[in-house]
Amino acid sequence: MTTETPARTPAAAGKERRYDAIVVGGGHNGLVNGAYLAKSGLRTLILERRHLVGGAAITEELHPGFWFTTFSYALSLLRPDIIHELELTKHGFMPLLMPTTFAPKEDGDYLLLTQDRGENLKEIARHSAHDADAYEAFEHDVSQVLQAIKPLLDQVPPDIFSDDPEELVALASAGQRFRRMDKQVLHNAVRLLTGSAADFLDDYFESEILKGYLASSSIIGTKVGPYSQGSGLVLLYHFIGEHDGVFGAWAFHKKGNGGFTQVLARAAQGFGAEIRLESPVERVLTRDGRATGVALADGSEYHADVVVSALDPRRTFLELVDPRELPADLVDSIERFRFQGTSAKVNFALDGAPRFPALGDRTDQYRGFTNIGPSMEYLERAYDDAKYGWYSKRPYLDCALQSTIDPDMAPPGKHVMSCFVQYSPYHLRESDWDTEKPNLGDTVQRTLEGFFPGFGDLVLHREVVTPLDIERTVGLSEGNIFAGEFLAPQMFFFRPAPGWSQYRTPIEGYYQCGSGTHPGGCVMGAPGKLAAGQVLKDVTARTTKAR
Amino acid sequence: MIRTTPFHERTSALNETGLWEHWSGHLTAVRYQASEKFEYFAVRNSAGIFDTSPLFKYRIHGPDAERFLGGVLARDPRAAKPGQAQYTLWCDDRGFVVEDGVLLRHAHDDFVLTAAEPNLAWFGDRIGRLRVRVDEITDEYGVLAFQGPRSGQILATLAPRTAELGYFDLTPETIAGCPVTVSRTGYTGDLGYEIWSRRDDALTIWDCLQQVSEGQGVIPFGMTALYMLRIEAGLLLLDVDFASSRYAWTDEQRVTPHELGLGWMLKGIEDPDRPFIGRRAILRELADKSSRWRLTGLLIEWQDYDRHYNDAGLIPPKDHVPVQEELFVYDDAGAQVGFATSSMYSPMLQRHIALARVRPELAKPGTELRLEIAVNHRYEYVRARTARTPLYNPERKTA
């Protein structure tokens, strides 16, 4: 954003290059982490490689007057405690309601859900009378699961490999929680955590458009199809977020997710953290197995007893430090850690809102997500292409005309349209992304043209972001938007590696706080916060010991 | 037969819900589309249009108009110069609040006063021998509130003189050949304006405003969104946050300006040259320190709120629809020390908030109290802290 939070210039900061804590990476988790550390009184420096903070949560004016959420584009999983503890509303936190969900069908019909429950049931009944109350039952059953497992998002995973009594107590209390759960709720939780979204949805619904819309949440950011085992977990993650207390509701932050990370930056600075832009960290400095600071690409050094990496596990363990300093089993685990980014973005500047023939000149259906995934079969076939190393011929698209919610995103009457695209595997079998980039853009545009005749005539500007672009620009390995796949073996006490899920690393004073740690990706902030808690625990213990 | 406002031809076409409520004998939209919260955000993020025509309006004019108003209003009308407006209230002779309203001073001897309820007899009966007339002009005007951060820049394209208006200023203007008054006033706590047009010009004004707002996220908003906005803004509502002394049955129901947190209006009350109704009683209240209450904002502690619901096995509801009924306020010892009159979940503040009256000594911002809420059919006592109103107060409102 041009309203970038100004970084203090090196001259202004003086020659002093010693801090209590240095955070590597100014993405949302780095900012959250730095803000908590600063709030606790640590002299904190946040180093960002690019000219703006936010990582993958940025908003840029890529076409005059049109502001694009280049990568990440909506908010839901952000933990409520972070909003309050970092006093974000003081700094301009403003999650705007997205009041509709629009799911066009290939035959010209559609499913349009609004904020009116009664209207929604009628709308679902238009496709299947059976599914109307099944939808209510589904929401109730899933909400019970979400309510039961939600506390896991806000706690450090217990270390199941440790004999430490504190860990055993934590483990026992987690076990207790499961024991107290209703049998049916626990069973549903296990089905979702381990099974396929398709199996779960088939138990409730018969309408293809409804199942297609719901199953879309089971594939986002992950190399699974709705029929794959494991897609249930992805579904659960996309429902467990909340907006103003409503599970599964998403919001559009004022001026996009870049607007949100600017709020975080202001909060961090408000607590005293210093942010330096265009400061790529080359490596973490260590001595005798202890972190002592960081060296930038230009050779300059900053020193601190605490260094926190907000980068993904591959960069945290294999690039910022010398893997030879780490235990072999950890290095093996990280090398096996699955990234395999499979998502892309195509962002459009439009001369006007697209026209959906069945709705005539209406445009209010675009005030939320427009879901191009009309059936589970459509989604699965899109996945089939990816299985064999190619991008989908008819991709799944999660679109948002954000200017219909926030008029500051585009000039009056014009629109920006963010399209999340899947599947676009990082590893292409017979070509490369530099070659295929324009073709991916054409594929997406052609798909949209099928649903919105005349779409192409509206396009003023098009920005294609491939997984390779995500990796190159943001630094997320293989362009994985979650900094590592959401697969059961990579979650909770296995994220990012067995024995290293508590934000510490084998190098004393070196911590991890990116989305590659528990509870994972999306603009959640929980890894940043939980890691800060661990840092502060250790700092306090050290200070007490020193006394 | 229920009446409609001068804008009804437009508002009825736009109201997709068919939901209306009755406001002073007129149909007024509860909300225009499925989500009142979307309308609320339009006001906080772009601009919204609200048809405020049913509000009672009185023209008070004549050579003694200022003197008359100086005697019946608690706030000194002399402080408003021609071209200025002021939020004001009037009291009975015991110093209890009758009502509040906005006074617009068009000229030295020409004022308009708004009121929520009929007050023609109240004012008319107090003219005595002064050379002043009080005329009811409620039906002569169509009034639109145009509120939100974009309202100023959009309105300036229609009515350039409005760009110069300071907070609570007003100016005559012409929109599409129609004479209007534009005041920088409103009931949302945001940057905003009210456009006062002749009844017959109302549709023209609506159409012009719609046209210049096109493509900028401007939508009409209904009563529910208005209530959300006014609670965040700490703006009071008659028969919700206070009762008119005229129709109260007991003094417990009555309230003084100080008790409503409106003591700031009484600047210059010591000055004996303005003997307004209620002055002596208010001076006695101040001298005796006999105020029973003080109005305050309440910020409900979100973790404690969530805990009560989670412990009961429920998902903590975060409902933005205002509850305009009493909830009781207690101290830690369990003694009732006040009552909340309006409460809601504020999307802008991301927590539950309330307007409440508490014992004066507890009104200091940051005082910890407990609010009684019903959870799972039981009363629970959730922690809350007093806070100065407005609870939401963007700089642009007065900038």
Question: Which of chain B's residues have a Cβ under 8 Å away from the Cβ of A413?
Answer: 214-215
- Chain A nearest C-alpha distance from B40 (Å): 10
In chain A, residues with a C-beta closer than 8 Å to the C-beta of B345 are: 244-245
Predicted pLDDT of residue A546: 77
Portion 259-318 of B in contact with A at CB < 8 A: 302-303, 306, 310, 315-318
Instruction: State the average pLDDT over residues B38-49.
Output: 98
- Tell me which of 2.40.50, 3.90.105, 2.20.28, 3.30.519 is the CATH number of domain A343-423+425-465: 3.30.519
User: Could you tell me which residues are beta bridge partners of residue A416?
Assistant: A349
**Predicted TM-score (pTM) of this structure:** 0.95
**B350 with A96: Cβ contact below 8 A:** no
Q: What are the start-end ranges of the H helices in B27-127?
A: 36-45, 65-72, 120-124
- pLDDT band per the 50, 70, 90 thresholds, residue A114: very high
Other residues' Cβ atoms within 10 Å of the Cβ of residue B267: 11
Beta-sheet strands, E only, within B79-165: 84-91, 97-107, 110-115, 133-136, 141-147
What angle separates helix A129-149 from helix A117-127, to the nearest 10 degrees? 120
Q: What is the pLDDT of residues B76-92, one digit of tens each?
A: 999 999 999 999 999 99
pLDDT at A1 over 80: no
Taking only the tens place, the pLDDT of each residue in A432-476 is: 999 999 999 999 999 999 999 999 999 999 999 999 999 999 999
Cβ of residue A89 closer than 8 Å to a chain B Cβ: yes
Residue A161: pLDDT above 60?
yes
A407 touching chain B per CB within 8 A? yes
| Nearest CA-CA distance, residue B384 and chain A, Å | 14
Query: How much is the pLDDT for A16?
Result: 60
B38, B44, B216 member nearest A412 (Cβ):
B216
Cβ within 8 Å, pair B318-A143: no
A408: nearest Cα among B150, B125, B374: B150
In whole angstroms, what is the distance from residue A442 CA to residue B53 CA? 52
Report d(CA B380, CA B371) in Å as an integer. Answer: 8
Residue A505 has pLDDT above 80, yes or no: yes
Cα–Cα dist B34/B21, whole Å: 16
- Model pLDDT, residue A6: 46
**Mean pLDDT of the region A199-215:** 98
The number of beta carbons lying within 10 Å of the beta carbon of residue A11 is: 7
**Helix, strand or coil, per DSSP, at residue A165:** helix
Task: Check CB contact under 8 Å for B214 and A413.
Answer: yes
E strands, A343-458, in order: 343-350, 368-372, 396-400, 415-422
Share of chain A above pLDDT 90, in %: 91
Q: A336 near A411, Cβ under 8 Å?
A: no
Q: How confident is the model at residue A3 (pLDDT cuts 50, 70, 90)?
A: very low
A164 token code pair: 């430490």
Domains of chain B: 8-56+139-221 (3.30.1360.120), 294-396 (2.40.30.110)
Q: Two tokens at A485?
A: 């796949």
- Confidence class for position B25, pLDDT limits 50, 70, 90: very high
CB contact under 8 A, B45 and A406: yes
Q: Rounded to the nearest 5°, which phi and psi values hold at A269? A: -65, -35
Alpha carbon A288 to its chain's center: 36
* Partner residue opposite B45 with nearest CB, options A96, A244, A414: A96
pLDDT tens profile B280-307? 999 999 999 999 999 999 999 999 999 9
Residue B340 has pLDDT above 80, yes or no: yes
Which residues are CB-contacts of B341 (< 8 A; sequence separation ≥ 6)?
Answer: B240, B241, B242, B324, B325, B326, B354, B355, B356, B357
Q: Say whether B315 and A367 touch across the interface (CB within 8 A).
A: no
Query: Which of A83, A406, A414 comes nearest B350 by C-beta?
Result: A83
B358-366: average pLDDT: 97
Please give the single-letter amino acid code of residue B135.
Answer: D
Q: Homologous superfamily of A10-95+254-338+477-546 in CATH?
A: FAD/NAD(P)-binding domain (3.50.50.60)
Top residue of B301, B350, B352 to mutate, by most chain A CBs within 10 Å, is B350
Confirm or reject contact between A84 and chain B (CB < 8 A): yes
In 3D space, the residue among B162, B192, B163, B169 whose CA is nearest the CA of residue B43 turns out to be B192
Query: Residue A9's pLDDT is what?
Result: 43
What is the pLDDT at residue A242? Answer: 87
CA A343/CA B182 separation, integer angstroms = 52
B15, B35, B213, B314: best mutation site toward chain A, by most A Cβ within 10 Å? B35
Which ipTM did the prediction report? 0.94
CB A17: neighbour CB atoms within 10 A? Answer: 15
Measure in Å the smallest separation between the Cα of A63 and chain B Cα atoms: 18
- Average pLDDT score over chain B: 97
Q: What is the pLDDT of residue A233?
A: 96
**Average pLDDT for residues B320-324, to the nearest whole number?**
97
Q: Which of A25-29, A150-154, A459-463, B132-136 has the lowest mean pLDDT?
A: A150-154
- Over residues B53-72, the pLDDT tens digits come to 999 999 999 999 999 999 99
Domain borders along chain A are: 10-95+254-338+477-546, 129-206+217-238, 343-423+425-465
CA nearest to A48, candidates A29, A66, A61: A29
Q: Establish if A351 touches chain B: CB-CB under 8 angstroms.
A: no
Residues of chain B neighbouring A80 (CB-CB closer than 8 A): 302, 306, 350
The pLDDT of residue A175: 86
Over residues B255-267, the pLDDT tens digits come to 999 999 999 999 9
Does A2 have pLDDT greater than 70?
no
Q: Does A399 score more than 90 pLDDT?
A: yes
Residue A290 identity: R
CA B340 vs. chain centroid, Å, equals 17
Minimal Cβ distance to B35: which of A95, A99, A412? A99
